[in-house]
């Protein structure tokens, strides 16, 4: 009997000493009238801890996520925004005699990217000069006929014919100019065509080298306005139904993180992969994301049943006596609340029952609270 009493007294004395050592700043307090201390367990599942002890133990507090079924994590690829990316092609075939812009350089709309030399370019430029000369002659004839008609020397039909010829010559000249513009514009010589940038942006691809002969419609450059980029995602059909346009996407890579929103979820599966393509748009004015870069995307999932689902970080859930529990903050410390976990969604776990969603809970280092419960149970066994 004396041995049993001594062990009880020793256990009661050790608990405050251990907590005092854990806090590093709190002095052990004597047991209360129930034989429990400040760091003890007044009732099963309750842990008394001060704010200082919580801080020293490294326990982070937070609240469950309500109205979201957690997050889906999957690999993704940074791509240029489809609305801000444009291929630059050669409208006519020929030899590349100048390349004025290189990979990574910025370019303004209308600036010359390359110059192509060819006989077709010479024909187009020659047609412009010929139609210009014919227009000048037609305008001169019209002016002469109008003057003669005013002097009652020429009949009116001669004026009408001259006016028609001048109109046709003007149309031919404009058509020749438009053909040159469609091919790229003037290149400084009759046998050259300049290829101009259709948009402002950054050159992300160059498919030719100096002196190369290219065919008509061959791609020379690809320009992207990288102030915003897109995120290419491939979703499982089961997940695609839980992701809606406007859903928040968190993109992470070593040393970087940013948020964007889902802009498009395809209504059809990709026939090759049997996955659902989706696109998110990211602000990239800081230039931290590169086209083609592999990243990790975390997408907030829409909850089932009217967006009332509750989820917590997986680090908040511990197993005590074979049951899953979450440690809820109380005035005195924490209380272990049994929960029924559901599906895992990225770093979160759906909580099917046990929480209301408004509680403040331990989300990191909750294993320290589990250890405190274990100490209390060991003490009671003694």
CATH at 296: 2.40.30.170
pLDDT at 1: 39
Identify whether residues 184 and 111 lie together within a single domain: yes
CA distance 275 to 240: 9
Range of the domain at 20: 2-67+308-381
Q: In what order do the strands lie in the sheet with 213-214?
A: 192-196, 112-117, 94-99, 213-214
Identify whether residues 206 and 92 lie together within a single domain: yes
Per-residue tokens: 82:
């489809």
pLDDT at 36: 41
Identify whether residues 220 and 231 lie together within a single domain: no
Identify whether residues 292 and 333 lie together within a single domain: no
Identify whether residues 256 and 370 lie together within a single domain: no
Domain boundary, last residue among 250, 275, 302: 302
pLDDT at 8: 37
Each of the 382 residues of the chain gets a pLDDT tens digit; together they read 333 333 333 333 334 433 443 444 344 343 343 334 444 444 567 888 888 888 888 888 888 877 655 567 788 999 877 778 888 888 888 889 889 888 888 899 888 898 888 888 777 878 888 999 999 999 999 999 899 888 888 898 988 999 999 999 999 999 988 877 777 666 567 788 888 888 888 898 898 999 888 888 888 999 988 888 889 999 888 778 878 888 888 888 888 888 888 989 999 999 999 999 999 988 888 888 888 889 988 887 665 444 567 888 888 999 988 899 999 999 989 999 999 987 666 567 878 889 988 899 998 888 889 888 876 555 555 4
Q: In what order do the strands lie in the sheet with 310-313?
A: 65-66, 310-313, 348-353, 340-345
Angle at 69 between CA 61 and CA 257, to 5 degrees: 65
pLDDT at 377: 57
Identify whether residues 211 and 118 lie together within a single domain: yes
CA distance 75 to 58: 31
Domain boundary, last residue among 224, 247, 268: 224
Identify whether residues 110 and 214 lie together within a single domain: yes
CATH at 185: 2.40.50.100
Identify whether residues 176 and 267 lie together within a single domain: no
Domain boundary, last residue among 224, 246, 280: 224
pLDDT at 186: 63
Note the pTM of the prediction, 2 decimals: 0.47
CA distance 2 to 13: 16
Identify whether residues 208 and 234 lie together within a single domain: no
pLDDT at 136: 94
Identify whether residues 231 and 292 lie together within a single domain: yes
Q: What is the DSSP letter of 378?
A: H
Identify whether residues 145 and 189 lie together within a single domain: yes
Identify whether residues 263 and 349 lie together within a single domain: no
Show Cβ contacts of residue 359 under 8 Å, excluding neighbours closer than 6 positions.
Answer: 63, 64, 328, 329, 337
- Which of 50, 16, 55 is CA-nearest to residue 35? 16
pLDDT at 30: 38
Count of domains in the chain?
Answer: 3
CATH at 331: 2.40.420.20
- Which of 191, 37, 195 is CA-nearest to residue 122? 191
Tell me if 334 sits within 8 A of 369, measured CB to CB: yes
- Alpha-helix runs per DSSP H in the chain: 2-23, 51-56, 119-150, 156-183, 237-240, 304-307, 367-381
């Amino acid at each position: 009997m004396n041995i049993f009493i001594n062990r009880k007294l020793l256990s009661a004395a050790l608990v405050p000493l251990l907590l005092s050592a854990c806090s590093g700043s709190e002095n052990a307090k004597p047991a209360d009238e129930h034989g429990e201390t400040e760091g003890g367990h007044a009732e099963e599942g309750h842990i008394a801890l001060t704010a200082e002890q919580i801080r020293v133990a490294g326990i982070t507090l937070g609240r469950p996520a309500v109205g979201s079924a957690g997050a889906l994590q999957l690999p993704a690829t940074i791509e240029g925004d489809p609305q801000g990316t444009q291929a630059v092609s050669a409208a006519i075939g020929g030899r590349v005699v100048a390349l004025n812009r290189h990979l990574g350089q910025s370019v303004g709309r209308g600036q010359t990217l390359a110059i192509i030399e060819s006989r077709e370019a010479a024909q187009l430029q020659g047609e412009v000069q010929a139609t210009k000369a014919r227009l000048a002659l037609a305008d001169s004839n019209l002016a002469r006929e109008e003057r003669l008609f005013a002097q009652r020397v020429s009949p009116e039909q001669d004026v009408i014919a001259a006016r028609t010829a001048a109109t046709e010559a003007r149309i031919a000249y404009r058509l020749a100019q438009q053909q040159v513009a469609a091919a790229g514009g003037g290149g400084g010589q009759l046998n050259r065509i300049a290829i101009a940038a259709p948009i402002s942006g950054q050159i992300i691809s160059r498919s030719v080298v100096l002196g190369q002969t290219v065919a008509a419609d061959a791609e020379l450059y690809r320009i992207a306005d990288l102030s915003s980029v897109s995120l290419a995602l491939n979703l499982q059909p089961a997940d695609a139904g839980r992701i809606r346009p406007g859903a928040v996407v968190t993109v992470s890579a070593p040393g970087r993180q940013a948020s964007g929103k889902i802009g498009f979820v395809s209504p059809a599966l990709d026939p090759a992969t049997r996955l659902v393509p989706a696109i998110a748009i990211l602000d990239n004015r800081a230039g931290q994301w590169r086209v083609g870069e592999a990243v990790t995307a975390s997408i907030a999932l829409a909850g089932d049943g009217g967006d009332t689902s509750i989820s917590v970080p997986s680090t908040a859930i511990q197993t005590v006596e074979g049951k899953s529990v979450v440690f809820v903050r109380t005035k005195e410390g924490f209380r272990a609340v049994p929960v029924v976990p559901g599906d895992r969604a990225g770093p979160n776990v759906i909580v099917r029952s046990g929480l209301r969603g408004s509680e403040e809970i331990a989300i990191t280092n909750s294993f320290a609270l589990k250890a405190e419960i274990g100490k209390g149970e060991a003490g009671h066994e003694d």
